[in-house]
Structure 1
Amino acid sequence: MEKNKYSDEKLAKIMKDLEKYTMPDGKDSDYEVGDPYSKQEAIRPLVAPNCSEYAVAHFTYALRPARLFSEVVMLPHILETMRKLGLNRLLRLQAYTWPHLSAGSGHGALIVSAPRSGRTFAYLPPVCEAVCKVLSESRRQRMLYPGTWPSDELGAVALILVPDLPRVRQVSAMCQSLLRKARSEDSVSLTLNVPSADSSEFLLRLLNGVGCLVATPAQLTWFWREAPGLLRFPRLQFLVYDDVDLMSAEQLRKAEEVVQEILPTTHYPQMVIVTRSYSEALMAKMRMASSHPAVIFGDVLEAALYGGTRIRISLVRSQAKSNEVVQLLQQRPPQDYRTVIYCMDDADMRQLVKTLEDRGFGCLPYYLTSDLEVFEQVHSWLANSRGVILLCTDNCPELVIRNAHTLIHHGMGDSYSKFKMRHLTLSGNLTNSLAPTAGTANQVPLLSLVLLDNSNQRQLPRLVNFLQLHQQVDPTVVAVAQRIRKDLESKRSNKHALCSRILLLGECREPLCEDRHHVADMDRRPSNVPASGDVKVQLVQVYSPTHFCVRLLEHLPPKGTWKALPFLAVQEIRLKLMQDKQPNRLWPQVAGAICMLHTAHNKERVRVLKVAPIQDVSLLRSDISVEVQALDVDTRVLKTQSGRLYECSKAMQKEHPMSYDLRLLGMVPQSGESSWAEEERTTVEFWLKNLPKGHFLQANIQFATANTLFAQDLVAMVYADNFKVHLRHLNLCQKLIRDGLARRCERARQKILAFFEEKLINEEAVEAKEEAQKHMLEGNKENLEPTLKNVDKDVKEPESPHVLPPRCLRLMQIAREVTQKNQQQEDLEAKTKVNPKSHTNFESSSQSNEDSMSQLYECIKNCAILQLEDAKQPKKDPDQVAIDPVEFLNQVMSEGSNKCAPHTNLKPKKKKIKARSAVPPVPTKTYKEEIPLQTHPNVVRPNVTYYQNITTLELQVCLPEDDHEYKALLLGAQIFFKATSKLSDLVYQFILTLKFSYISLRHHMVGRTVYISVVKSLAFMDPLDFGEYRFMKPNHEMFCKMENSHNNSFKRLLANRGYVQQNVDPQDSSESSDDEEQELDGIERVDHGHILD
């Protein structure tokens, strides 16, 4: 609603930079997004390849279309503006609509054409010309009668309804460019949009007069609801519904109710309806509103169906195509129905001609090599076919056929557009429902038969989608089309981002939307992304009132406690340290690759989504358009050029993203739009960025995908010092509903859940299965406890002369529990079994194998742990019999499988005891002897001492001799060391796992000691948790030295600043240092200078 004046210089600049700003990355510094006039918005629909050279138009009278642009009669400044915008080419669609709409009242038009085919400019110039004439007449009346206020100058001259807000900006830009010289007074608004909030300025502009009012149905309904019965539009000349098929039925119904209230009482305005698919309901509405309606088709296939053509699809094998053609020709003889057959190529045509001639049909093939004589025969055939069948291909544009009755497609062709253009052969016989004699003439039925085999089914999904809007389609054909669509989507190299309309509303009605409309494997949630519970997030960016970019801080699982997620600052520093100083250019770019984007001020990690076609991979180019999505800075999707993308290391590619999308599930705009206004976004951004200090944002997760968290709500929590509790400061969903910006929509919620259902079912099934097992085990816990008590009672009976060790008793209990658990799990699986029998047997067998292996592993591990505990305890009973753990383990396992009583096999027999008494007593084996370390006999651990400073970790490996050869390597977070000698077979080696981030390793050998220095990625003290490594010993002397050095440095710092008295005896210091040197004479010293070089 801003007052904008545009001079000829700006329009000349648009013309001069036409090629520049038609590029996807073209930007303009003079106009911002959302400005009523933008050169990108004005030019965009006119550079698409959908502009057809042919049109089918039906009128109630004989209309002479314009053939050349010079024949168009309009106001000079409108023609001049179109020339400066590059609109100097007259399309066939516009050649019919401009003369018809310029004829005046009662001349309405139904325009059926594909998007970006010039259909918007098919009605805009006549509409703007009518607006200019009305405004000029009003100016003349004011000059004749100054000081008067005409009551018929209220409201708008033209009302244009469009489906969404981006379309509002686009159409407004076109209207503003064509009406720029029609301004008579500053009080008159040439172009006006409905604001997103209540505004008195909007109402004042309506009262002062408006040229074109551009709005969505939801905006028009909101305006009438805010000011009901305020005024009519007495001088309304045009009522336009642009992209009516993209408007929801409910919104369209409410908008029509408002239109009936604001229409003038003296006349009915000219109606224009623009759609991409024809329907009888729209045609009936056009007939009621216009005395001279017209229907104009830019889509030939739509025109064919409108004219009575019946389209059939037949899925047959390649060998059976000829029989299908013969069968149809027998039903529709060529003598009665003029027949044209389109073949894939000349070879296909020759084979079909031979088959038809053998069956007695006359054929006229038109090959690519046909001469003038054959061309003359085709002209004779057009006058009188005489039962001859014409065969041709798509590569014969010189053939002008318009009066065929039967059209057979032996293959769909290379492209869908060529397939549609074939139906021009039927255009001369289409029924004109608007003609005065439409019902009197006998109409010959028209048929289009499509024969498809496995080699040419690529275009089937688009054809099935089209036919489902107009007629019934065979379910078998629909199923095949769905399968082909899935195969084509899986083979796409580009990995587009998910459509934002689906993520907001659960559906997308935009036919030319280039985003992804299916769930792929790349959307599956990784393990590091929370799937339920609450999360604390850090706000990064506000994209819309319900879409945010956040970073995850903490996670609260259901019925759990808060858990801190990986520290983002450390990850950010680690990513910076991983960056190569001189990276290589990424070429060729592949969708899904993770790389670095270099801009003038930043370097960030991105994922490639879409790459423009590359003709020659061997030629390195920097101007290829690439669409990428940021991973760490935020989650924005942007377009860049291939010259700005560089490779990154594999370790950097494996790092998880730092930023994620957060969306409020089921929250949609209150206005009913399919997108949000910029004012609404800025309002929510102000709320979230002006919260009290010490707050944090908390979201309740419903489900999650790879990069998006869908939350039920987003709240801002603050800490109340007086009450010592956290309180909700802001509930975003309630705030949006209370301020009239959004509302909860259960329909959108269910559609979004259904869209992701394929990926959610597996996770929910696994969670449900685990929960059921947990409840089953808990429910049978009471049955297990008495059994265990009986076992303990039987084992502890005093009549047993030989009592087992405590570790064996505990091991028995573990074995019983494992057996009971496996039995309960098998019973649960038997109850919940839903798969076929063969599949169930396979799963049960594999599950039993896994259970036995896991049982054996757990028992061995528990045996080792319990035996170690027993080794530390003193032996209480001298009469205990030392039982071999391996033998006992086999005994317990066999006993558990046979389900014997727990005490039957535990009592040793007297005969065996007597036999053993004759044998000399065997000493009890220790833990180390029983379960040795799993190393080779000639592998030993060297003695290693360690200490650290602020930047490095220092290791000293002491070897027995100085003739050893060694290797030291830092791989990831592990240090590998190995030393060998030619004089000995022993190998000194160890593997040390570090729990801190280190980046490099340096080493050297002095004497028989190897000095290893590991550089830290951060100047920070490592906790050094090496307690599990028995060969690692701390170097207390160096630790003490480092501490003394740190304390002395701190004292000197305080002394220099005057905080501490300096009482230092130089003599004592020297003596202590001499003593220190004497004590270190027998110790090998570290050459720090050599290590740090």
Structure 2
Amino acid sequence: MRRNGAPPGRDRDSCDFSPKSDDSAKKCVQFSLGKETTEVPSFKSESHGVPITFASPRSREALLDFMAATIQAKDLRTCSILVICQQNEEARQVKSEMGNRDINTMLLEADQQATRQMVLLWSQGYIQQVFVACDDCLEMFEGLPVDFVIHTALPPVEKFKERLDRLTKSENKAEMLALITGAFKEETGILKKENGKAQNSVVKSLKNLENKEKASELVCSTRALTRGKGSVKDKPESLKESLPEEADLEGWQTPPEDQKVDYNHVGGSQCHMEALVQARSRLGKASSSSRSSTIDSARSTMASGRVGFARSQFGVLAWSRDLIVPCYDMSGVVDLNTTIQATMKTMLDGLGNGHQARGAQRYAWPHVSCGKSLVAVGPENIGKTWCYLPSLCQRTHEQMLLCTEEHYGPISIVVCFNQRNGNQILQWIIKLLNPLDPGGSQIPHDQVVYLWEKGNVQEVADRLSHSVGILVTTPDMLVLLKEWHTKEAPIFDLDSVKCLALDNLSGMMRRQPDTTAKMVDWIIQLLNFGPDGSQLFVTTRLWPGTLMQKSLLPLVPDVLIVFKDPLEATVYGGAGLEVNLIRPGEESRSLVQLLRDRTLSKERIVVMCHTKEEVLDLRHKLTRAGFRSEGIYDDGGLTTATQWRLQSLPLVLLVTDDMVDKVKCGPIDQLIHYTSPTSWTRFKFRFSLLYKNYVSSCPCKSVVLLQQSDFDRLWELADFIVWHQLPRPDHWLRVLSECRRLKDKPSSQLAKLSLCDQMSSYGDCFRRYCHYRHIMWREELQPPANYPGEGDFRFQVLNCYSPVQLAVRLNELYPTQFYFFSQPMSQLGQEVHVHYEVEENRRQHQKPKAGEIVIVRNLKRYERVVVIQAEDTKVTVRLLDNGIDRLAYKPSEIFVCEKRHQKEPGQAMEVRLIGIEPDTLERTWSTDMRDAVRSDFFNQLQGKRMRIFSARVKCVLSRTIFVDTVVDDKGQDLRSFLLHRFHVHEEAMSMEKLRGVVNASQPRPKDF
């Protein structure tokens, strides 16, 4: 959106910072910093028809604060502001200082090719940022409309005259502010003279610029604004020498020398500006700077040395190697089709979202409309899909207009988490595409093709033999579909695919990790990403660091990464995370111990509390311990936070959750969580205080003081760490398991519950919600008599339930005698099936009881089962001879088992690999990993209907035989296969955990 510039004669009162005056009488300009109001000596004059205000703050810090307050008072949508410095180094430091004060600026350098085009776009209102430039760039502004000019210092008179000549050629005469620097104390004293001689001399000099002697008296040497890398509280010697005495600054504090947080992060390369000039849509409709927003488009280095631009505003963190400029709404994206814009507005109105872009969309829409890639990270229902969908549909439509009969395959591919999610996206796509081709006359090909079921793969492959618009599918279906792509009959054209969207990538990886990995590998080989290739769009709830950094991000150097989840951003930003488990009531003592190890005069520390009462109580405790602190629990504390940020006060900030989105504390060294908030969402939002660290590339650390009894918060943090493959928090996990076990007290009610399968499989339970029993009864420990107790044993695999859980039948005791529909049956199994297949031999069981052996019909065969639970409408049973499945039947489907068939023990046995676990807290194996083990390890060889495997008993617990590995008839072992093929956790303490379950077993309650 262009800046709504006013005509030359417009009223400037809204942009004025001092009273109007026709004479040069001295004034005192007032500006506010937080709730404090400061007066700055000033006087006003006019030259070349331009009003000029001369102001002289009493210190360099006051000068910078005054400049920032002046800019903040203006609306950047209607007022273009230019800050002029004498040297490039000074301009860089001014930009840095403005960034520290939440002023969004852009540095111009004369040697950059795109600078002139940037100035042109800025003058037309397409860029709504404050420009900082030196005199070398001044000729670019000649004749262009500028509303407000700030001179950071008075240059030599000839140079000042040159500035006025160049900047007054436009019909729009700019207001100007000239800041007098140098000997602050001396200048201020001059301005306080009552006879006004100082002001008159300046006015006279401006009217007679050829008088060099008088003009030279007014010229003040510009002092460098250099600030070295390090803590915000650092100040190098060069700056100390230029400052006045501390007594003259009336309380202004000189920050200490030690360096901790890097603030010198601006002034880097702007080599990527040229791409912005190629399409104005990249800029979009930039929104105005807000005092309540943190924004800095500085050149930034994120974790692992990623150099690029980073910004934090609208509640999101954005990073890209290209310049990042947000828009306000869809109309600010110039490259987006007006029909698409109109349709989007109608659809957003229907969803109740309004026209204004949401946080991630403000950065995403201008970026992806230029043909660039996107990764959006955040929770559900924040508009991540809408970040890319309009541009994807437009680019698809434009490409379809160019397709001929020779083209084949999809132009865009949208891969969804599941069919439900895909159907919703499918409807949105249709609504966006239909208005672009109302009658369907322009495009003879299919605009949208979708695939959800295996039975439709061939049909979809046939349709892809011709050109289609968008293919919408799921990862498993795309992997199946690619098998139909051959050289003889191709259905994917790498030159035709312009967009690829992976919607909810983290959901795909949790549900189908192996399939998702196969899909990504194939995508990398098939598509060519880059400026002239395909666009990649990824939305995800969790940041998949390994997959993104090793596989996807190297393919898309033009990617924009947007985080709406502050906790996920800590992984990408490189913030440290430490969790200290404490006992109830030890919060204050632990916090004091942490603070004793820090130096408050050198480090910035913020402590997060839940309520105002906690802040007040903690402040009292810290005062008694000898630590200064200030509480930020309402708007009245924001002034303190601003002073703490700008003046480097040696104290701790205590902030409540309600104030996180308001307090602007800049980069900090440590964020300490004193107590937990009421929800996981509010806890994650606390980490948005670290956004400024990522923008300025400052190291930071977050410390969480967490009570061992806070099960939910501990589980959420552990799940976060395990998902991101950070060092496994084994101590936390032991606490989780202990908390779960302690909740189970022996009782008749507990005895009615089934044993938790994680306890019998792994020796502990990490589930967040588990409604099973976590104490084994001693009667359950003894295995059946026919189970092998030690040594090697050979078996046939009846079923593979997970990569580590098998149902087997011992080959020596129960050899296969018969095959029923390719399923092996022993002699007993054959007898049972043949006997009960005769209707006269079947008698319906009237009242089955738990533990009783009965007959059911399963997979067209009759077999023995044991009753697990009997209810009025459902009977739960477990197979005995052909597997260990648990099945549910109606009471009418249960038949009486004759006594002669009840004597034999169950022939199917459970075999489990010990020490191999899914790398998730829920420990749920995905179906695609199970299927991969079934097909790739336990597959039947040609000519052999049933293979024989072997293993060695490690231990036997209840009905489970634990082994180290399973070896096939060719010597290949299952353990090596799993460790090589999948990302799994290998637990070294498995045997100790199982022994702990045995040792903690208790007698079954007698009243059960």
Give the TM-score normalised by the residue count of structure 2. 0.44
Structure with more relative contact order (C-alpha pairs < 8 Å, separation 6 or more): 2
Give the TM-score normalised by the residue count of structure 1. 0.41
Structure number with greater Rg is 1
